[in-house]
Chains A and B, each alone.
Chain A
Amino acid sequence: MRTQFSGLEMMRRALFANQRALDLVGQNISNANTRGYSRQDLSLYAAPPFHTPLGQGVGQIGAGVTDAGLVRYREEFFDRQFRQRSADLGFAGTWERVLTQMEEVLGAGEGDMAHAMNQLWASLQGLAVRPDQADARQAVRQAAEALVTRAQSLFSDLQRLQRSLDDDLALKADRINQIAGQIAGLNQEILRASGQPGEAPNALLDKRDLLLDELARLAGAQWQTASNGQVIVSIGSTVLVMGNDVNRIQVAKPGSAGLSSFTWEKGGLAVTFPGGELGGAQQARDSGVPEFMRHLQTLMTALVTRFNAVQAGGYHAPGASGPPFFAFAPDAADPALVDIASVRVSVDPSQIAAAAGAAAAPLDGENARALAAIFDDETLITDPVTGSGPVGLLTFNRAVMGRLGLLAERQRTARDVAALQQKQAENMRQTVSGVSLDEEMTKMIQFQHAYAAASRMVTAMDEALDMIVNRMGLVGR
């Protein structure tokens, strides 16, 4: 049977519910600008009705409002989209940065290889015209030294770029380990919180989602949500976090030279980042920058070997053929190429073989002309950058710059597209999870009025009860 006080109980529920709703509105507004915050709502529903006993009226009267807990507005699909595009942006962004830096290093103008090669060509032409002048010889040696210095400086700049990528990789790998540890910890806490009824670990979920965002951007990580609310994170095909377990990335730095290697703690396999900033950095470090280092080596190898050959075929004094123009050592990793740091101009100016005839007559500059012609020999380099067929030194250099420009342009476009797509994905996320101040204000008014109305009802019921308690049965008193 329905008691008088059940009305009050119903109003009490109403007051609490609206109070709680207002608290939640306050929570949403406070976190309107918090990164990664998903807005929350109270899930209110009408409490199960009493069954009216026979004789007291027909139908069921509700028992007020009750809440089923908090609702967290989050759409996993949008999260997936956002993270995928974050990974793409991280990847393309890193590549674009590296390529732009390489452009600056190798760029044309006074400092580039083409200019140095043309200077050497000009000095050799000068020698061909005046082989008997010491000035002309000195000029050749200086131009050759300038060329070697330029090549060495470019090469070491590229090496430095590679090492800075390496440092970046090591630093970010550490960050990944850190994030993985935090996610594992959060997994535990969320599991514990979810087990208790009424507990909604929304803040923890938000925090975990933020970390997953960062992980996607860094390494293109994938994740799955298990049935118990835990996430399993993997990078490529290797599991990074499962429940409370973390599979760390181990970084091995081999001394001052050389590059770091990354292996998984469990299993010892090498780490390959499938995407994200680390994916881009790893590819740039291992194949992007080395490609252009190799091109430089190819150029210099062809130049120094041919120079020495033509030098050996000429004469600087009667009967004395030219000693080697350049001294160099082969690259330890690839003996077919020269080690650029080891190249130096070893010939003395007086021993530059300008003459083609064995008599080495004073005005015989034909061999100097042959040395100059090296720069126009289009059969010199058999392994061109693009297309097929041999190319000359200057053509090769241009092809390298063209390729670099094309790659950079491509990555810049990819990055811009990825940025746009990431923005769109973020907007979709915000549509679901973002806080709209206007909306919260409106809700606030709603709950405020409902609260006020409920309070009035309490007063009304109080007056009714007061009538029963204090005024009934007082006949004649």
Chain B
Amino acid sequence: MRVTNGMLAGNLMDSLGGLKERLARLQGQISSGKALERPSDAPAAYVDQMKVQAALQRLDRYGQNAADTRAWLNTTESALHTLGEILQRARELALQGANDTMAPADRHYLATEVDQLLRAAVDTANSDHNGEYVFGGFRSAAPPFTLDPATRAVTYNGDSGRMIREVGPGIQVQANVTGPDLQGAADLFAVLKELHDQLRSPAPAAERISATVLPGLDAAQGQLFRLFADVGARSRNLELLEARSRDLRINLETQMQETGGVDLARALVDLNTEETAYRAALAVGARILPQSLVDFLR
């Protein structure tokens, strides 16, 4: 095949051009640390990268939601614990009051203490977290429970809104316990009020206390216990979730690095190879191009 000087020069320039393009690409990758700069570098991997990036972006928000929820649940848990202690004390008083041998005057003293317990219970039920009432459902502006001092009736001013928080992809946790949940079938306020009234009432208070108040207290305590366990479980789940989130974050970041980051060792080796090829091409070109018959003719 007939080869001209122009062809030799053209071929050299093309080879050098290709090598320089590869060198430039490697240089860009090494200096930026990213293997995937554009979607066209590797379309499928790029889309995966986008998913991982989105997941990482959401982790922050999920973490905040989880922390917020845990704080609510903590406040709720300690309030429930306090209510449990109140009911326990009420039980002791009820047992004393159920004793026939007690004089009415003594029962009156018990009644006073039960009155205090009731007020304490209402105060506890009006616990707040940073100024927002935890047992009021969505109505957080005003205290959810009000105690009528005369009748000792407790009214609920909140609603039954359930605060659902998203704490992970597709994972929802209810952050609150509403007033209706708290009062439930066995209303602890009603039981305390009943106890108080019975203690103040004339005989046969003892039988009545045994017959109605004690079972009522049992039911209320049982209900409270179940609520407490439920809230505790939610709290525990959140702790596990937060630990998993930390692991997930590390996994996602590793994944980002693996698909999108450049393997520095490999890139440097490639750079070396390309550089050697470039130098070889230059050397060959420099050796062959300048020669022609003209050099040899006198």
Contacts and interface: CB of A to CB of B under 8 A. Distances in A.
A363 B161 contact: yes
B7 A430 contact: yes
Interface stretch (B51-59, B88-96, B102-110): B51-59
Interface string A83-119: 0000000000000000110011001100000110011
Interface in B32-61: 38-44, 46-47, 49-51, 53-54, 57-58, 60-61
B10 to A, nearest CB: 7
A366 B58 CA distance: 19
Contacts of A104: 38
Nearest to A432: B2
A357 B58 CA distance: 27
Nearest to A441: B293
Contacts of A434: 2, 4-7
Contacts of A423: 10, 14
B139 A361 contact: yes
A99 B38 CA distance: 11
Among B68, B140, B161, B166, chain A packs the most CB atoms within 10 A around the CB of B161
Contacts of A435: 4-6
Interface residues of B, number: 48
A427 B38 contact: no
Given A357-B161, A362-B139, A99 B40 contact: yes
B4 A412 contact: no
Nearest to B62: A125
B294 A369 contact: no
Interface in A401-452: 401-402, 404-409, 412, 423, 426-427, 430-432, 434-438, 441-442, 445
Given A362-B139, A431-B4, A405 B43 contact: yes
Among B10, B46, B165, chain A packs the most CB atoms within 10 A around the CB of B46
Nearest to A403: B43
A121 B61 CA distance: 9
A364 interface: yes
Contact of A437 (B5, B47, B163): B5
Interface residues of A, number: 57
A362 B138 contact: yes
A114 B58 contact: no
B57 A357 contact: no
A394 interface: yes
A51 interface: no
Contacts of A99: 40
Contact of A402 (B11, B39, B297): B39
Contacts of B163: 363, 365
Contacts of B140: 132, 361-363
A113 to B, nearest CB: 10
B268 interface: no
Contacts of B43: 402, 405-406, 409
Contacts of B60: 122
Q: Is the interface of B mostly helix, strand, loop or mixed?
A: helix
Contacts of A355: 138
A430 B161 contact: no
B10 A441 contact: no
A398 interface: yes
Contacts of B136: 363
B69 to A, nearest CB: 8
A32 B138 contact: no
A312 interface: no
B132 interface: yes
B49 A108 contact: yes
Interface string B213-231: 0000000000000000000
Given A107-B39, A121-B61, A427-B10, A361 B159 contact: yes
Nearest to B55: A118
A56 interface: no
B31 interface: no
B2 A441 contact: no
B6 A441 contact: no
B101 interface: no
Among A363, A432, A441, chain B packs the most CB atoms within 10 A around the CB of A363
Interface in B2-41: 2-7, 10-11, 14, 38-41
A108 B259 CA distance: 15
A432 B47 CA distance: 49
B297 A405 contact: no
Given A357-B161, A363-B140, A366-B164, A118 B57 contact: yes
Contacts of B46: 108, 401-402, 405
Contact of A398 (B4, B42, B47): B47
Contact of A361 (B1, B61, B161, B297): B161
Contacts of B64: 126, 129
Contacts of A436: 2-5
A33 interface: yes
B50 A114 contact: yes
B57 to A, nearest CB: 4
Contact of B3 (A100, A103, A399, A431): A431
B40 A408 contact: yes
B139 A438 contact: no
Contact of A129 (B39, B51, B68, B141): B68
Interface string A324-362: 000000000000000000000000000000010101011
Contacts of A408: 38-40
Contacts of A394: 54
A431 B166 CA distance: 72
B61 A363 contact: no
A438 B54 CA distance: 65
Contacts of A359: 138, 159
B137 interface: yes
A398 B136 CA distance: 42
Contact of B293 (A362, A407, A438): A438
A122 to B, nearest CB: 4
B202 to A, nearest CB: 45
A79 B197 CA distance: 112
A437 B294 contact: yes
Given A122-B57, A441-B293, 12 more contacts: A32-B5, A33-B6, A100-B40, A108-B39, A119-B57, A122-B61, A129-B68, A361-B159, A364-B138, A431-B2, A435-B6, A438-B5
11 contacts: A32-B6, A104-B38, A108-B46, A122-B60, A129-B64, A129-B65, A361-B159, A369-B164, A398-B50, A399-B47, A435-B6
Interface of A: 32-33, 99-100, 103-104, 107-108, 114-115, 118-119, 121-122, 125-126, 128-129, 132, 355, 357, 359, 361-366, 369, 372, 394, 397-399, 401-402, 404-409, 412, 423, 426-427, 430-432, 434-438, 441-442, 445
Interface of B: 1-7, 10-11, 14, 38-44, 46-47, 49-51, 53-54, 57-58, 60-61, 64-65, 68, 132, 136-141, 159, 161, 163-166, 292-294, 297
The 4 lowest CB-CB distance pairs between A and B, nearest first, are A405-B39, A361-B138, A405-B43, A434-B4
